[in-house]
Amino acid sequence: MLELAVGGELFDFVALAGRFTEPIARYYFKQMISGIDYIHRNGYSHRDLKPENIFLDEHYVLKIADFGFASQINKNSGKLLSTRLGTENYMAPEILLGKPYSGFSVDLFAIGIILFIMVAKTPPFFRASSSDPLYRMII
């Protein structure tokens, strides 16, 4: 089903509204976790979560979009993914390092980055690269 997201992108919302207070960030974080939990329970990993792929409807309810890099995951097989997909600044370190990764874990990493941006209005590091000192702290 196609839905209209008249509230626009989360990226624009943060840019215009500024830093979210803790209760507002918590409200949207819970929605992101709920949405990604639904996706994971149905056996998929998004693999390109970022504020530009999260939209708001007319009631400011989050909608996760752009499943172009999504992958079906068999939760019971333990099989890891290896394709380098997604947007670099939201990629988990294991993807950037070319290591096999869990689709579920990399989605949660990206949601953590998004939460940081909602609260701080800036990414936690300049560039997802081993040359960035802040990023190096998490790899």
Active site residues: 48
DSSP reduced 3-state for 25: helix
Spatial CA neighbour of 85 closest among 72, 105, 103, 64: 103
Give Cα separations from 138 to 19, 72, 94, 97 (angstroms): 23, 27, 11, 12
* Residue 31 Ramachandran class (φ > 0 left, ψ -120 to 50 alpha, else beta): alpha
